Amino acid sequence: MTVEPRIGDVFGEMLRDAYAVATGVGPRPLAGGRLPRPVIEIIERDDGLINGAPAAHYLDPPADWQPYDHRAVDRVRGATLDVGVGAGRIALLLQERGVPVTGLDTSTGALAVCRRRGVRDLVHGTVDAHVADSRRYDTFLLLGNSVGLLEGRERAPALLAALAALARPGAQVIAQGTDPYGTRDPVHTGYHERNRRRGRFGGQLRLRLRYRELGTEWFDYLVCSPDELAELVRGSGWRLTDVDDRDAPYYLATLRLAG
Ligand SMILES: C[S@@+](CC[C@H](N)C(=O)[O-])C[C@H]1O[C@@H](n2cnc3c(N)ncnc32)[C@H](O)[C@@H]1O
């Protein structure tokens, strides 16, 4: 008998264990009850492709970041919402710099790790739900490839509208993405082709995350080119004003509130 994974807070459990490994705070995951077990994020794609990557980088200090992360935080100004705050690596540096930063995440476990690491202002939930609160922001960060949260043509307008509703005049979004189309790997080019035939963006991934016995539901995650991002932003109330692709295929997109 095969059993589907139990739906749970995959990201939260994984970050809790990664934090325990990094700091010794909390029970460390052990293999055979003795040997430290590496904490690996497992990503399943709907064509059967499975990828694993160490989760430790979510806790990385600024010295270990990619150059584009530094350029992103250098562009921050005013009250800032870190969307998908994860383990709080970006929020912690902003706090240190005296920036009023709020970390938002759908994972209660991720927020617990943020709290333990000293992130002071945290919100549990989605951007859409946060609109009902009275908080408003000058900068929105979607880092760690979180352009992905736009999902595709169906979800993007609602997310961009929610960000606009949370925005102060002159607000900006700084979003990090990856252009997926430089690859020649047939596993990926075939997947992109299949997506396009179904009316989706080539890099509109259908994924679920796994950690130990837990899994997420299947969800869409958008890995798109800057041109595709421009298409999504058109008519949204935001303008794509800058694409910094100095570290291509990774890029930082800046959106500004139109008008
Ligand atoms: C890839 S991680 C990036 C973490 C962090 N931004 C970084 O750069 O280290 C994505 C984070 O977004 C959160 N997340 C996923 N879907 C979300 C949503 N719809 N709204 C808010 N957060 C979400 C996840 O729980 C996770 O903490």
Stretch 21-30: mean pLDDT: 87
Please tell me the distance between residue 145's alpha carbon and the centre of ligand 1 in angstroms.
9
Residue 176 near ligand 1, beta carbon < 6 Å? no
CB atoms under 10 Å from CB of 239, counted, come to: 15
Residue 149 near ligand 1, beta carbon < 6 Å? yes
Q: What is the pTM of this model?
A: 0.97
| For ligand 1, atom 23: residue with the closest CA | 84
Q: How confident is the model at residue 209 (pLDDT cuts 50, 70, 90)?
A: very high
Closest-lying ligand 1 atom to the alpha carbon of residue 145: 1
Residue 40 near ligand 1, beta carbon < 6 Å? no
Helix (H, G, I), strand (E, B) or coil at 30: strand
Percent of the chain predicted with pLDDT > 70 = 100
Given this model, what pLDDT does residue 35 score? 79
More confident of the two residues 33 and 207: 207
pLDDT in tens, 93-117: 999 999 999 999 999 999 999 999 9
Q: How confident is the model at residue 178 (pLDDT cuts 50, 70, 90)?
A: very high
**Contact yes or no for 190/155 (Cβ under 8 A):** no
CA 146/CA 255 separation, integer angstroms: 14
Closest-lying ligand 1 atom to the alpha carbon of residue 15: 27
For residue 81, pLDDT over 90 is answered with yes
Please tell me the distance between residue 128's alpha carbon and the centre of ligand 1 in angstroms.
14
For residue 258, pLDDT over 90 is answered with no
